[in-house]
Structure 1
Amino acid sequence: MSDSFGDIVDAFQPGPKPQPGNLPGRAVQVLLVGCWLLVCLLPIFLAVEDLELATGKTGTPGTLTVVSCESLGKGRYDCKGSFTPEGGGDPIPVDASPDSEAGDVTRAQLTPEGDRAVKAGTTGVIAALTLPALGVGGLGFLPYVIMYFLGVRRGRRGAVVLGCVLTALGTAGMVAGLVASYA
């Protein structure tokens, strides 16, 4: 690297350069791990309601017919549907998943509030597992980072292997969930 290029880089990165081995203080380490946990566990907690619906634990089973999908711009859609309860009864107007297309007919569960319907069955469960898979994939390398912060040397290689496996599983789960959402 030439001296002039180095001067340009230094102009955009002022201040002392970090030295290898310097770590943030304990308070910052705890804050970083806490934020990491929050970001990765939140999608898991947010998916519980959709998982309960998709598995049939809550809600009313029936059939969802997507009536219309209106483009909101920038690839976003607002879809409306008609939900017919399995036991019979009048169709209920509901919000449908934005990844639907007008005319789609699928098994679904009506939320207890009665405002939206979620795909049921295997496809619905796999689609509902998209967010938890994101959380699991994000947690993959957290054990290694904690070991690094604590200065633990034994087991780091195992933590890296675990991180790779969890990240791969999370990625595969996200892809499977997205495919199921659009199936």
Structure 2
Amino acid sequence: MSDSFGEIVDAIQPGVKPQPGNLPGPIARVVLVLCWLAVCLMPILFAVGDIELAAGRTGTPGTLTVVSCEALGQGRYDCKGSFAPDGGGAAVPVDASPDSEAGDVTRAQLTPEGDRAVKAGTAGVVAALTLPFLGVGLAGFLPYVIMYFLGVRRGRRTAVAAGIVITVIGAAGTLAGMVASYS
């Protein structure tokens, strides 16, 4: 009976089955881990400027009024706005977030370059944290993979449990950031 069960499993899962010792070489493992780490860290590094801007550490505070949004196709938009600084002065034409709609009025921060304005305050910070949370979520199972590559058996279940928790936190933060950016 076990032979027929094995034939059924082979029929459902055809193809070459990996063998236990069939891993990439040590150099390839290091390259894979470094690439994975880079993919996880890049969103965090690139978001620092937007987080500082949304938190009010850089830029000029004011009010953004979205003037127009032009559809570029495939769900992409190019939005233009008018930024009025809190300190007074003439309104500045700026690029607005592509998730805006014409007529939106919101608190914003003008970049030091003066070319775009982003949502300020809590909603802006949470929206700016979308990509860093994605990077954290992607890094969830990296410790397990490193342990597997090194042949460490003790603690792998803990690494999987921690990976699940970290991935769920990353997914929840990414979702919260997306909701904040569209609200």
- Deviations 1:30-78 (CA, angstroms, capped at 9, x unpaired): 0000000011100000101100000000000000000000010111100
The match for 1:104 is: 104
Distance 2:48 2:99 in 1: 20
The match for 2:157 is: 157
TM-score normalised by length of structure 1: 0.91
Equivalent residue of 2:88, what SS? coil
**Residues 45-56 of structure 1: pairs in structure 2 closer than 5 A:** 45-56=45-56
> 2:41 matched to 1:41?
yes
Q: Please list every run of 5 or more consecutive structure 2 residues that lacks an aligned counterpart in the other structure.
A: 1-6
> 2:22 matched to 1:18?
no
The match for 2:132 is: 132
Equivalent residue of 1:47, what SS? helix
Task: Specify the code of the residue in structure 1 equivalent to 2:39.
Answer: V
How many residue pairs get aligned? The number is 174
Distance 1:180 1:19 in 2: 46
The match for 1:174 is: 174
Distance 1:18 1:160 in 2: 21
> 2:75 matched to 1:95?
no
Distance 2:164 2:50 in 1: 28
TM-score normalised by length of structure 2: 0.91
> 2:94 matched to 1:113?
no
> 2:64 matched to 1:64?
yes
Distance 1:154 1:20 in 2: 18
Equivalent residue of 2:65, what SS? strand
CA RMSD of aligned residues (A): 1.4
Q: Please list every run of 5 or more consecutive structure 1 residues that lacks an aligned counterpart in the other structure.
A: 11-15
Q: CA deviation at 1:21?
A: 3.0
Equivalent residue of 1:80, what SS? strand
